[in-house]
Chain A
Amino acid sequence: MSEETTLIRASSGWVALNLKDLWKYRELVYFLIWRDIKVRYKQAALGVAWAIIQPILTMLVFSTVFGKFGKLPTDNSVPYPLFTLAALLPWTLFANALQRSGTSLVGSANLITKIYFPRLIIPISSVMAGLVDFGISFIILIGTMIYFKVSFTWNMLWIIPFTMLTLVTALAVGLWFSALNVRYRDVQQMIPFLVQVWMFASPVAYSAQLITDRKWQIIYGLNPMAGIIQGFRWSLLGGTPPGELMLLSSAVMLVLFIGGLYYFRRMEKTFADTV
């Protein structure tokens, strides 16, 4: 019989990530995602239809306001509805994941104070739970692409890494926010506002090519979502590849992510006492 020995003691300072433990509990990630999805659409009259209605309505509103009234130019003269939908997909995935993960620890206070499991599981599963909605929206996108007679290319496979980057970015920010929210409930007041500002700082409704000033481009690139959204559009609809913007975005994201992981692990030991 192999026997596990656990040493319980005060951990000091920056703790190791302990990914082994995380791997051992991987099934719990699956169960929590499954719970989130099941619960979200239970007792909603329209059920999963909401995942279809929301992106379509947002696309219509954006097309009317920004495309029709605002006459914003698109890249590569793509029809505006398609142009904005291609951006709304990663953006919605990101925004929802950020909102859910930011409040996830506080929302799971009853679990945290009663049972041990690697706490990283909570923000991870709340970020991943958005993938189902994303999948559904993706079908709408494909439908729209067919409607506008966009030809399908191998280039489109690029959206797989871009989707993963979206998730990692959301997790990076979510790690910081969820851990901070345990201590400072100010965070949960801040998140909706931040999401709103962030959307305007990302090329969702407009094209990143509108920003021509070199200095502003660099500042713009600091937003990891700028590169990702640009990349999404490029892989689906063609135009200019994200290039430099993407490099800067990825670097920022990586710093945020690794910092977030360590900050989270550092704060983890106090969660049960402070939540």
Chain B
Amino acid sequence: MSDIAIQATNLGKRYQLGALGTNYRTLRDTIVDTFTSTTQALLHTGERTVTRAEENRFWALRGLSFDVKKGQVLGVVGRNGAGKSTLLKILSRVTEPTEGQAEIHGRVGSLLEVGTGFHPELTGRENIFLNGAILGMKRTEIAAKFDEIVAFSEVEKFIDTPVKRYSSGMYLRLAFAVAAHLEPEILVVDEVLAVGDAEFQRKCMGKMSDVAQQGRTVLFVSHNMSAILRLTQETMVLDKGQLLMRAPTQEAVDYYLSSGYSRQGERMWEADEIPPSAAPFRPIAIRVKDPRGRVVETIRSTEPFQVEFEYQLAQPLTGLRVGLYFVSPRGEPIFTSFDTDEPAQYERHSARKAGHYFSRCSVPANLFNEGRLVLGVNASSFKIKRYFQDEQALVFSVDGTGAPGSQWAEPRQGPIRPALEWKIEVHS
């Protein structure tokens, strides 16, 4: 028995663009296409024009080779559209690769989404059995773990209530509880931690690290760098369907954060990067500006700067707050600030009309150490709804020239480098 759990060789997946979206083919399309290609073949007019089908193809994944050892927890990071989900779908056999192959030794359990197959009309109890069976558990297995699942989900009282009456939190907890009690040899996980409240996320993380410690093989995809850092030792960085690098997680995360994301101090959100659940909130852009109002990639530690978040509201919202997370490249939070933190400001803007908004945050000089900073954004109504969140909206650099202590050419520890007042007294 080898010690390899997954061996992928030259994996590739090509999609037809039309098939990705909502448009499926109608008979008419097929007839038209067949007709076009046939007439082209018949007429044989010099060079063939590309048919509609050919120009609409693209590779979501290409030439990907890697292996995962038994018991290894491997992270996968990459921007939206990098091919992470496609990779997981191939490994969990939801879809077939177009080329290449993967050899998998052991039973695979995939968690591409929690609550797949939950039926709103059925009770919690019924859904546990149904969902378990869909995930590949045997009836006896589910029955044996039933109590454990219910205890983990904390919905004992409502276990015989149809899940359509559950709050979204209860629903998620139950769904995750079922999935978490799957016991495959290889677990493939996508972004399950990106949902739910902080308490739920903590619980998920705890369960995930248990799984990792039990010596099972895990392939873990996430946008959450601190989760990746905590759970994995090694990480692959994917970009545009290709493997950019595979390295110890710390190194890979640093590389990932400092490469793709720096777009000259500005980040715009494309329509396909915004989940439908964000409505009526629509993020447009986030920018870092120097004191002269220019959008810059690097700010100076000794100068104040401004972070500008531009967004639109399609409908009026009450209680909306828009905020920034300042995070170190290692995923450690430095601080969080919301545009309505000040009570007077909150009074004035607790109800926002539909329209085009800018929330600008002025950051004082002499605050950050040199290095790179990750900016995350959040738009939410406290305890009501999180409209939008992007934990790695933008990465920018801080230049330490002239910062306190820069006469000594030595790196200073920590993400901040405030200019503090020192008094030196001499008693002689």
Contacts and interface: CB of A to CB of B under 8 A. Distances in A.
A27 B134 CA distance: 9
Contact of A115 (B15, B99, B110, B138): B110
Interface stretch (B20-28, B38-46, B403-411): B20-28
Contacts of A185: 24, 26
A9 B10 CA distance: 10
A112 B104 contact: no
A31 B27 CA distance: 34
B116 interface: yes
A116 interface: yes
B281 interface: no
B130 interface: yes
B216 to A, nearest CB: 13
Contact of B107 (A4, A115, A272): A4
Interface size class of B (residues with CB under 8 A): 35 or more
Contacts of A68: none
B97 A10 contact: yes
A275 B94 CA distance: 12
A10 B96 contact: yes
Given A35-B122, A274-B24, A113 B94 contact: yes
Nearest to B18: A274
Contacts of B138: 27
B92 A116 contact: yes
Contacts of B377: none
A273 interface: yes
B223 to A, nearest CB: 19
A46 interface: no
Contacts of B1: 3
19 contacts: A3-B1, A3-B106, A4-B106, A9-B97, A9-B102, A31-B129, A31-B130, A31-B134, A39-B121, A42-B121, A110-B116, A110-B117, A114-B94, A114-B113, A115-B94, A115-B110, A115-B116, A273-B19, A274-B24
Given A4-B106, A9-B97, A31-B129, 18 more contacts: A4-B107, A5-B105, A8-B91, A8-B96, A8-B102, A9-B101, A10-B98, A27-B138, A35-B119, A35-B130, A42-B121, A111-B117, A113-B94, A115-B110, A182-B24, A272-B89, A272-B95, A273-B20
